[in-house]
Amino acid sequence: MNVPEPDGVLVCWSWIGTIVFVITAVAAAIRPPWFQAVALAVALALFAVGMITMLWAFGIAVNRSRVDAIGVGGLYFGAGSTPKAVRWHILGATSLQAVTGIATAAVRPFTSLAFGTLVWIFGIGMMGLWTARNGEFEPTDDPPPVSDPTDGENGSVGDTASHG
């Protein structure tokens, strides 16, 4: 697979997680007694990793938002901020996760395969993390605040309290 750089490791992990999920979910749909527990463990693990990576991406984006105008669509879906190849890979894997989760849950309704519908959060987390680290955003309108050495708590020039 031709992996886009930088941070190609996130692209690889998004596909590895997707392939492991598809294999275990389909196996559990075909042979529930043998594979249902494994499919549940994989689905919950990928969901947990997705939640962690989404929060991680959010933290990076908050820090970058001082100088970059970052929106949710640009961060988690790569809209206008991520190269086409990266979006294709990570969002393609995410789409496969969503379709597999819904399809296997539909084949075996009211079973633990329903947890597979949460796995797409893994893909969105990977997209968010890639974009938070490497995405290109427009600069914010306001420059970052610069502290004024004369404005402080010691009653210097910046003190506007009345002295009665």
Tens of pLDDT along 17-41?
999 999 999 999 999 999 999 999 9
The per-residue pLDDT for 140 is 83
Q: Biggest alpha carbon distance in the chain?
A: 82
Distance (Å, whole) CA 87 – CA 81:
10
Which pTM was predicted?
0.81
pLDDT, tens digit, for every residue of 80-137?
899 999 999 999 999 999 999 999 999 999 999 999 999 999 999 999 999 999 999 8
The mean pLDDT of 143-149, rounded to a whole number, is 63
Computed from CA positions of residues 53, 56, 61, 64, in that sequence, does the dihedral angle turn out positive or negative?
A: negative
Nearest CA to 29 among 102, 119, 121?
102
